[in-house]
Structure 1
C-alpha cells in the first residue's frame, strides 16, 4: 500500500470518528436540555410509606391591612440606567404589583457614591472586589440597611404584591429550594440574597456590612458576599440576643423560588441515580425530588409564590451583558428614583 493511500485512509477514519463524536455530543446536549424536574419521577429510589416530603403547598396566615413594618420601596441594581432587554418584563412586574411603592435603581456610579458617603470604611473593600457581582451583593446590604424596603435581583419576577409579608415581618429572606444545598454541598438551609425585605438599620444587616472586609479574601463569590456568606452570618445572628427583638424570618423556598435552577436538574438527576455514594441527607433529598414529581403528588408551587426566580446567573462569564445596551429604566418605570 502506498504512503498516499495510507494517509488518505487515516484522514477518512479521523473524519468518521469526529462525526460520531459530534453525534454523541449532540445527543448528550439534547438529552440534557430536554431534562426537567418531571424527570425525577423516573428515579429508581424507594419512598417509604411514612415519608414526609419537605414542601409547602399553602401560604401562612398573613394580614391584609395595617401598618407596613417595612418601607414601601423596591430596590434593584444594574451597571447603568439601561436595563438589558431580557430583564424588561421581569423588572416591570415590580411596579405593576406595587403601584404605590417607590422604585429605586442603583447603578455602579450611585452605589460607590452611597458607600463613600455612608460607609467610607467599606469603600476600599468595595473597590478591591475582583468581580462586579461581589459589589452588587455588598451594595444590597448597604442599601437595605440605610433605606429599608425590598431588594430584588433583575431576574426576579413579582407574581403578586409582597405587602402581606411587609405587614407581618420586620425582615424576611428567602431560601433556595431544599434540595439545592444538600445535593451540591451536603448541608441544608441555604439562605439566598436574590430577594430580601427588611426595615432600615436592622442589626443583621449591620452585621453583614461589618463582616464584608474579613470575608473578602474568600475566593468564591458565594463565600465572600453571596448566599454562603449570608447563611453563615445568619446562623451566628440567630443565636445572638438581638434576634429576639430584631428577628429575621426565613421564608419557605416556595415563596420566592418555586422552581429549581434548570442548570442543576441534570446534575442532580444523575447524582440521585447512584444512591450508594450519597449521604443520608442527600438520599432524602433525592426521595423528596421523586415524591414531588410523581403524577399523584404534582403541585404548581407558583400558585402560592409571591415571586419567581428565573435563575439567569448574570455573573457567569458565558452570559456577558453590555452595560451600554438596553432600555432606559425610565421607559420601564416612570417614577424611578436614582441616588445622586
Structure 2
C-alpha cells in the first residue's frame, strides 16, 4: 500500500515562530538602532539634569563625608602639591586625580563640575550597555531596552551624584567589555592591539577598585578555549590583554610612588578590607574597627589608621621593628 506524501507532510525540524505581535519577533534596523542611541542620550540627559537641579538644593550637596571626604582631601592635596606620603599608599589615586582635574577646571564650582561629569559618564555608560546588549544577544532592540533600563535605574543615578568612584569605575568596566567584544571579532595585529587596550582599561579600573582583578582570568581562559577549538597560534591573541594590563599597572606603579616610598602596582588596602569584610562580627555593610579612631585637623581614613596602628602595636609587642612598606600591613591582615 502506498501513501501520498503530499497528504502526510513531515513535521518541520526547526519550527519558526510567526507571531509578529511579539515585541522581540523582529529586530529593529541599524538605522533605527542609531536613533535609539540618540534617544538614550536624550533620556539620560533629561533625567540627570532634573536630578542634578533637585540634588543641588539638598543640604548635603557638595558636603563630602566618610569616603567622599577622603577622596576630596586627597584631590585638594594634589592641587596644593602637598606630600602624599602621609596617606601611606592606602587607597588608589585614580579617582582623587579625576576630582583634582575637575576642581582645577571648575574653580569654586569644582564639586559641581565633578558631579556633572559623572552624570555624563553615566549617560555614556548607558549607551555602552545598549551596545553591549546588542552585540551579546545579537538583537538591537534588546540592547536599546537594556540601555534604557540602566539610565532609569536609581542606584547608578544616586552614585553619580556623590563623590565616589562608582561612576568612573563602572564606565571603565563597560568600556573594556565593549572593546573586548569588538576584539573577539577581529584578527591579526588589529585584534592584538584591541585586546591589549582592553586589558589596559581593566587594569586602569583596578586603580579605582581592585575587585576587577579577578576578571583577568578571562583572557587566558578565552584564549585556551579558542585554541582548543582551532589549534592555531592565532587563537592565543587574547593573551595580549594581560600584556596591556601589566603595562598599565607598571605605569601606575610609578604614579603610586607619590604616596608611598615603595613601588606598588596597587594600593595596600586589600588585606585589611579582606579582614574586616570576613571577620566574625562583619555585617557586610560597614567596615567596623575594634576601637574608635580620631584624626587631626586633616581627614584621614579611619580604617587605614586603625590597621597601621594595630600592626605596629603587634610588631612592637613581639620585639620586632614595624616595616614601613605599606604592603607589609596588608600582608599582615
Fold agreement, TM-score > 0.5:
no
Kindly indicate which of the two structures has a greater share of residues assigned to helix. 2
The TM-score range, normalised by the shorter chain, is under 0.3
Larger radius of gyration: 2
TM-score (norm: length of structure 1): 0.25
TM-score (norm: length of structure 2): 0.25
